[in-house]
Amino acid sequence: EPEVTQTPSHQVTQMGQEVILRCVPISNHLYFYWYRQILGQKVEFLVSFYNNEISEKSEIFDDQFSVERPDGSNFTLKIRSTKLEDSAMYFCASAGAEGNEQFFGPGTRLTVL
Amino acid sequence: AQTVTQSQPEMSVQEAETVTLSCTYDTSENNYYLFWYKQPPSRQMILVIRQEAYKQQNATENRFSVNFQKAAKSFSLKISDSQLGDTAMYFCAFMRTFGNEKLTFGTGTRLTIIP
């Protein structure tokens, strides 16, 4: 069964460093998403992406964040200058043409020291 | 904007019993989807069940069923014959039906199944 994959599973970085979180969505999916979950809290929407551009972004997704689909298979989330409060679990999700069900990856746990 | 409320932060139940998790939501939309996601200790997000608002019939998936009350904006999850593997966080989520829509999650209910 096809699945969304994410790498790395755990990333530790120093405050102020840039990080890139990688996702490989399900191959025939059209819609891509990033969500964030701070430990013990609910899952929050960051950004959605379709047809090589951002469809919607939340207020969390400020200028420090960017997304890219560089090669038709990977979908990346970049944080330019990490802050302590960026420590969280980051989930990638993708959806097919109907867009009525999102499939989640296993997440990347980001720890900012 | 849509909101999703889960008023039970924690619940526990004996193995093999039935448990119901509550969820209410607020929206001005008429057509939308509602979901229950399970998050075990591994933190993977697993879709448990989906309900389409235009369908009056409640969705069921094996031991999992929902009670969808559209007028009351209520969407509860019933787990029958609970098993130890059901121990997890459960999140209720809302999504509009326009194609490329985000999920809006509730704060979750931590369910513990007691052996």
Nearest to B100 among A35, A42, A48 (CB): A48
Sign of the Cα pseudo-torsion (B105, B102, A99, B55, in order): positive
Asked if A41 lies within 8 A of B42 by C-beta distance, the reply is: no
Show the tokens assigned to A31.
């819609």
Q: What pLDDT was estimated at residue A1?
A: 77
Q: Considering only the beta carbons, identify the residue of A43, A99, A103 that sits closest to B99.
A: A99
pLDDT grade for B33, boundaries at 50, 70 and 90: very high
pLDDT at A67: 96
**Considering only alpha carbons, which residue of chain B is nearest residue A50?**
B100
Do the bridges between strand A102-104 and strand B74-79 make them parallel or antiparallel, or are there none, so unpaired?
A: unpaired
Predicted confidence at residue A38, as pLDDT, reads: 94
Segment A58-83 mean pLDDT:
93
A44-63 mean pLDDT: 94
Q: pLDDT value at position B22? A: 98
Q: What is residue A105's three-state secondary structure? A: coil
Window 23-62 of B, Cβ < 8 Å to A:
33, 37, 42-47, 50, 52
Residue with the two structure tokens 């109907």:
A98
- Report pLDDT digits (tens) over B89-108: 999 999 998 777 899 999 99
- 10 Å Cβ neighbour count for B46? 13
Q: Is B43's CB within 8 Å of A107's CB?
A: yes
Residue at token pair 């209910």 = B109
Partners of residue B93 in chain A, C-beta under 8 Å: 43
- Number of C-beta neighbours around residue A66 at 10 A: 14
pLDDT category at B42 given cuts 50, 70, 90 is confident
Q: Which long-range contacts (CB under 8 A, 24 or more apart) does A52-59 make?
A: A55/A31, A55/B100, A56/B100, A56/B102, A58/B102
| For B50, nearest residue in chain A (alpha carbons) | A101
pLDDT at A72: 78
Q: Inspect the interface and report whether the beta carbons of B44 and A45 lie closer than 8 Å.
A: no
pLDDT at B17: 97
Where do runs of H (alpha helix) occur along A12-99? none
Q: Across residues B106-114, what is the average pLDDT?
A: 96
Note whether B43 contacts A89, CB cutoff 8 Å.
Answer: yes
Q: What is the pLDDT of residues B2-29, one digit of tens each?
A: 899 999 999 999 999 999 999 999 999 9
Whether residues A33 and B102 touch (CB distance < 8 A) is answered with yes
Three state DSSP letters for chain B: CCEEECCCCEEEEECCCCEEECCEEECCCCCEEEEEEEECCCCCCEEEEEEECCCCCCCEECCEEEEEECCCCEEEEEECCCCHHHCEEEEEEEEECCCCCCCEECCCEEEEEEC
**Rounded to a whole number, what is the distance in angstroms from the first to the last CA of chain B?**
41
Return the pLDDT at A13.
Answer: 97
Q: What is the pLDDT of residues A12-25, one digit of tens each?
A: 999 999 999 999 99
Contact B102 A101 (CB under 8 A): no
